[in-house]
């Protein structure tokens, strides 16, 4: 299936552009070792795709969340060697940006997101980086997608969001935009979607 009249390509980061599971695991296990949290990484990982705060609340953690968050993302920088870009992503992004506006919608912290985008995709022009704030809620709410449409002045029907989780799909439906599921990403073996890609470069055949 080929999407028509696409002008904007919105991208999730973890599980779509970069493979960061090993980094997440090291970062979380350091929290465990230092007694910031008690639950295993598996409990954290199966909930990714929304804000850190949402994940903590869903895990039953309601104290010292901001301190835990600060330590977790500090660990993420420390173990940055555990992150790698998926094959074909950089080359494909370089091709896509010639004809489309490229932007990011993620639940990661802005500082971490900008750091990893620059590290792995230094020549890609990301027109906008959307992250959760007090005003704009994280996925599965549509806030960040709607903000991108408004800021970039591109209609939702002329946009597509590439994600890898149920939260990404739900946010896209609520924002009334097109969605492509990155099957190579995380926690989506049972997720059904009309448009799927097995590797990032497959998006060339859809837009």
pLDDT tens over the chain, length 207 residues: 899 999 999 999 999 999 999 999 999 999 999 999 999 999 999 999 999 999 999 999 999 999 999 999 999 999 999 999 999 999 999 999 999 999 999 999 999 999 999 999 999 999 999 999 989 999 999 999 999 999 999 999 999 999 999 999 999 999 999 999 999 999 898 999 999 999 999 999 999
Q: How far apart are CA 188 and CA 136, in angstroms?
A: 25
The number of helix segments (H) and strand segments (E) in the chain equals: 8, 8
**pTM of the complete model beyond 0.85:** yes
SS3 for 81? Answer: helix
What is the CATH number assigned to the segment(s) 8-19+84-205? 3.40.50.1000
What pLDDT was estimated at residue 1? 83
Query: Distance between CA atoms of 173 and 129, rounded to whole angstroms?
Result: 20
* pLDDT reported for residue 187: 87
CA dist 40 → 11, 79, 82 (Å): 28, 18, 19
pLDDT, one tens digit per residue, over 102-121 is 999 999 999 999 999 999 99
pLDDT tens digits for 185-206?
A: 998 989 999 999 999 999 999 9
Indicate the domain borders of the chain. 8-19+84-205, 21-82
Which pLDDT score, from 0 to 100, does residue 80 have? Answer: 94
Give the CA distances from residue 91 to residues 33, 99, 122, 159, in Å, rounded to whole numbers and listed in that order. 39, 14, 11, 21
Q: Is 85 left (phi over 0), alpha (psi -120 to 50) or beta?
A: beta
Rg (CA), the chain: 16
Separation CA 35–CA 47 (nearest Å):
20
pLDDT in the model for residue 58:
96
């Amino acid at each position: 299936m080929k999407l028509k009249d696409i002008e904007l390509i919105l991208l999730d980061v973890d599980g779509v552009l970069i493979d960061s599971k090993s980094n997440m695991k090291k970062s979380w296990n350091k929290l465990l070792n230092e007694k910031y949290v008690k639950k295993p990484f598996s409990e954290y990982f199966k909930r990714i795709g929304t804000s850190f705060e949402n994940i903590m609340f869903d895990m039953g953690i309601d104290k010292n969340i901001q301190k835990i968050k600060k330590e977790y993302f500090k660990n993420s920088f420390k173990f940055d060697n555990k992150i790698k870009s998926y094959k074909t992503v950089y080359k494909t992004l370089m091709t896509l940006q010639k004809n489309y506006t490229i932007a990011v919608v993620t639940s990661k912290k802005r500082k971490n997101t900008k750091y990893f985008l620059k590290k792995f995709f230094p020549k890609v022009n990301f027109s906008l980086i959307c992250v959760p704030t007090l005003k704009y809620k994280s996925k599965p709410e549509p806030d960040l997608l709607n903000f991108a449409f408004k800021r970039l002045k591109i209609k939702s029907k002329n946009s597509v969001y590439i994600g890898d989780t149920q939260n990404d799909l739900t946010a896209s439906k609520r924002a009334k935009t097109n969605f492509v599921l990155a099957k190579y990403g995380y926690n989506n073996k049972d997720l059904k979607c009309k448009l799927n890609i097995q590797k990032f470069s497959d998006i060339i055949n859809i837009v």
